[in-house]
Amino acid sequence: MLLQKTDPESRARAGEITTDHGVIPTPIFMPVGTVGTVKAVHLHDVRDDVKAKIILGNTYHLYLRPGLEILKSAGGLHRFNGWERPILTDSGGYQVYSLSGTRKVKEDGVVFQSHIDGSRHIFTPENVMDIQRVIGGDIIMAFDECTPFPCEYDYAKKSMEMTHRWLQRCIVRFRETEPCYDYRQALFPIVQGSVYADLRRRSAEFVASCEADGNAIGGLSVGEPHETMYEMTELVCGILPHDKPRYLMGVGTPANILESIALGVDMFDCVMPTRNGRNGMLFTKNGIINIKNKKWEDDFSLIEENGASIVDEQYSKAYLRHLFVAQEMLGAMIASQHNLAFYLWLVDEARNKIMEGKFTSWKNRIVKVLSQRL
């Protein structure tokens, strides 16, 4: 990672991550494309209008459908879905957490049932590396267990220690194999430890010692208070290498992102922009809008007066509300695209403020505005 500027009043920093599919400016938000698509948004719109530099794919979902045979025959996910920019693939560790009723965690790996047809499968650190080689992400994640919140200390400790053993196996497999396609892949380990400072410290130190190309912070934004999330993030960012990207997984609201940038995080992903968009919640520069509310029925002003997205130039609040009330699919598409464009605008603006040396004062002012309900 090339560091270009640090904020004088916080740990915020601006930089660049170089991959064979392009350069990623940081801080960056990564739209979630779980099954090879960002829900309700064309990938050409994600590229051209949202201006995303990198998207996510998910190992668990892509492994089950369309499956490795199809993906390998296509030449990897980039060629399968036509996305020419970088892709990060999540290892499936979060699904280990979320599918608690249909999986069994063992030292060797995780046995689970498909949510599609009930068939049984196993993920191990080794085959998760092999699967991500076939999917072809530019950045691939180590296999981990994401602990729930609340979580007993002893369970968090045992889970973290197992995640570390899994990481060592991931590294061995990664080093003894080659990419399936004609570009490099980078492996990111994941710090765990729940909300316990001593465990987070141990995990961050272990992950830092692996000297990977970048590092992630997992197991947060799973129900713990925001202040606890910030406390754990600050602790971990103080230990992880300064010259490597730091990725806070699954976070979060616009305020979460800005506060975490201030703590030293470079990369984010979250389903919130598209999930909330499909349900009529819009994030704007002036605050949060529930477009289904009657108050927008005859409001013909644009969604974002200052233009954070191309859709703002085309559609009014009244028209978008009409689409939701009429249950037209276009409503979810417009709202999702707007929210993604807003998130990418937000991290780009944060980057600009870091480069100008004005991030902290700007962040403190705008966080309050972005969090208010309109």
Catalytic residues: 90, 269
Q: What's the CA gap between 367 and 374, in Å, rounded?
A: 15
Interior/surface letters 56-78, b for 16+ CB within 10 angstroms, e for the rest: bbbbbbbbbebeeeebbeeebbb
How many DSSP H helices and E strands does the chain contain? 14, 17
* Chain center to CA of 198: 25
Please report, as a single letter, which amino acid is at residue 82. G
DSSP string, 309-366: SGGGGT-BHHHHHHHHHTT-HHHHHHHHHHHHHHHHHHHHHHHHHHHHT-HHHHHHHH
SS (H, E, C) 75-141: CCHHHHHCCCCCEEEECCHHHHHHCHHHEEECCCCEEEECCCCCCEEEECHHHHHHHHHHHCCCEEE
Angle between helices 317-325 and 329-356 (to 10 degrees): 140
CB 192 within 8 A of CB 220: no
DSSP 8-class letter at 301: S
DSSP 8-class letter at 239: T
Q: What's the CA gap between 316 and 338, in Å, rounded?
A: 12
Q: What's the CA gap between 189 and 9, in Å, rounded?
A: 29
Q: What's the CA gap between 275 and 320, in Å, rounded?
A: 16
